[in-house]
Amino acid sequence: MEHPLYVYNSLSRRKEQFVPMNPPHAGLYVCGPTVYGDAHLGHARAAVTFDLLYRYLSYIGYKVRYVRNITDVGHLVNDADAGEDKIARKARLEQLEPMEVVQHFTNRYHHNMQQLNVLPPSIEPHASGHIIDQIQLIRKILDAGYAYESNGSVYFDLDRYAKKHPYGTLSGRVLDDLYSQSRELDGQDEKRFPLDFALWKKALPEHIMRWQSPWSDGFPGWHLECTAMSTKYLGETFDIHGGGMDLLFPHHECEIAQSVAALGHESVRYWMHNNMITVNGKKMGKSLGNSVTLNEFFEGAHPLLERAYSPMAIRFFILQAHYRSTIDFSNGALQASEKGLQRLMEGMKTLDNLPASKNSSIDIGDIGQKCHAAMNDDLNSPMVIAHLFDGLRIIHLVNDGKETLSAADLQRLKEVYHRFVEDILGMNSDQPSNRQTDLLNGLVNFMLDMRQQAKANKDFATSDNIRNMMNRLGIEVKDKKDGFEWSIK
């Protein structure tokens, strides 16, 4: 390839040239959501980051197999293998089947992703659909001597593992420090060491989500599913594993240990992590009351929000920062992004309508090459956006009649803008926000209620007037026995 792509590998802590194992194929695994609630801004950042990578890899010619899982079992309320399963808890509180909770929030997640113009992955495996694969993986780890059974549960033997293999390289944690920070075992504990993590947990009698296994009726540990599903669909060694930086430890560190224990080698060639979003300078968290869901953003329905923001404004806001930098959310920052996006989209519309001249009076430069160079430098989307803003100057000069562009130059410029804005950054313009839709529905229903009233009062002049007005606006009204129905023509 002419211009190589460099990505930052969290394991080696440096930028490395991306060379897939089996070109033109490239494998990408990203940790997906645990579906027990609505997606928030943090979910959007991970999804948009790896959507950008997926789009770019595809654009430069790779056939990408993109696997993003759905965690629907095994993620406990407390990360240290304790507490209730997050989904089972939600199901208990809402008096639903756990799979109803899973389906409900998976549907809502998919809808949010569509609103953000995040492309669906090639495969979206569910943890609960891969219990057999996970049991087989536990067997391999047990056979290799890196796990032990205790009272029907199976734990990873971290102490034994760490004597033979490095542990903590990805997250930079030192095992001795971790031991000194961990709580003492109280003698009742099934684990040999506090940091051993669950591969299989025996289910308590009241636990609903349970499967048969050689050890007990129970359920798999959270870290296990990603090792089982990534290697099942991408092979025992695969190209890229992505996720949020909050997953570095313990989740991804445990994934590495599981692969080395079961397969004798690491599975991942490039680890990539997106940074976190802070809210007004503070960490985002449910308990802090500053974890705003995407639906709340789109409807403006949260005390932290001055008003609603469109999905594209959120997407652009995320892409305006490099994925490895933190982003601080504030209404001001988001409104500035919204303005920038509007300027960019309007500039593109102007470009599409520019007349071609015989000759170009201005050099359009190598904006396309600059954008590619920025993307090849570890997906530097803010730099791409800066180059695109620079190019707007030329577009406006031509539009104002101060400069001219030949048909060929015009075509080249259009090609660059559409490729980067739409195909790679994934921006699209006219999606009405939920708020706009609500407003439209409210106003039309209000007008039609007035028309009903006018008719009831035999004020036919007013009722006809409203109907004609609706017709002119392209709204079709059908009278029904018990009211009316309307649709946009």
Cα distance from N-terminal residue to C-terminal residue, the chain = 49
Residue 31 near Zn ion by CB under 5 A: yes
Please choose, out of 31-39, 113-121, 284-292, 427-435, the segment that lies near Zn ion by the rule CB under 5 A.
31-39
Residues in contact with 64: Cβ distance below 8 Å, sequence separation at least 6, in sequence order: 25, 26, 27, 28, 54, 57, 58, 122
Whichever of 31 and 385 has its CB closer to Zn ion, that residue is 31
Work out how close the CB of 97 gets to Zn ion at its nearest, in angstroms, rounded to a whole number: 24
- Of the pair 223, 315, the CB lying nearest Zn ion is at 223
CB 31 within 8 Å of CB 37: no
Contact criterion met (CB below 8 Å) for 10 and 272: yes
* Interface size with Zn ion, residues (CB under 5 A): 2
Asked if omega into 250 is within 30° of 0 (cis), the reply is yes
The residues, ordered by sequence, that sit 6+ positions from 140 with a Cβ below 8 Å of its Cβ are 261, 262, 263
Query: Which listed range, 30-38, 310-318, 335-343, 414-422, lies at the site for Zn ion (CB under 5 A)?
Result: 30-38
Whichever of 190 and 225 has its CB closer to Zn ion, that residue is 225
- By CB under 5 A, tell whether 47 contacts Zn ion: no
Give me the least distance between CB of 243 and Zn ion, in Å please. Answer: 6
Closer Cβ to Zn ion, 78 or 151, answer by number: 78
CB of 361 to Zn ion, least distance (A): 55
Find where tokens 């359009």 sit.
364
Q: How far is CA 261 from the centre of its chain?
A: 30
The nearest distance, CB 250 to Zn ion, in angstroms, is 11
Rounded to a whole number of angstroms, the minimum distance from the CB of residue 326 to Zn ion is: 21
Q: Which spans in 75-130 are helix H?
A: 86-94, 98-115
Structure tokens given for 58 = 């595809």
Q: Which CB sits closer to Zn ion, 40 or 223?
A: 223
C-beta of 226 vs 394, nearer to Zn ion: 226
> Footprint of Zn ion on residues 67-96 (CB under 5 A)?
none
- Scan residues 449-478 and list those touching Zn ion (CB under 5 A): none
Contacts with Zn ion in 217-246 (CB under 5 A)? 226
Nearer to Zn ion, 102 or 226 (CB): 226
CA separation for the pair 388, 409 (Å, rounded): 16
Please, what is the minimum distance in Å from the beta carbon of residue 338 to Zn ion?
Answer: 33
Q: Which of residues 261-300 bind Zn ion (CB under 5 A)?
A: none
Q: Which of residues 102-141 bind Zn ion (CB under 5 A)?
A: none
Closest CB to Zn ion among residues 241, 467: 241
Site map 369..408 versus Zn ion, x via CB under 5 A = ----------------------------------------
Residue 124: phi and psi, rounded to 5, are -125, 80
Closest residue by Cα to residue 55 from 121, 124, 114, 2: 121
Q: How far is the CB of 69 from Zn ion (least distance, A)?
A: 7
Q: Closer CB to Zn ion, residue 44 or residue 226?
A: 226
CB of 359 to Zn ion, least distance (A): 56
Residue 44 in contact with Zn ion, rule: CB under 5 A: no
Q: Which residues pair with 464 in a beta bridge?
A: none
Query: Strand, coil or helix: what is 353?
Result: coil
- Distance from the Cα of residue 43 to its chain's centroid: 5
Residue 247 per-residue DSSP state: G
Alpha helices by DSSP H, 116-168: 131-143, 158-164
- Decide: residue 422, CB within 10 A, 0-12 exposed, 13-18 middle, 19+ buried: middle
Find the shortest distance in angstroms from Cβ 251 to Zn ion.
5
Binding site for Zn ion (CB under 5 A): 31, 226
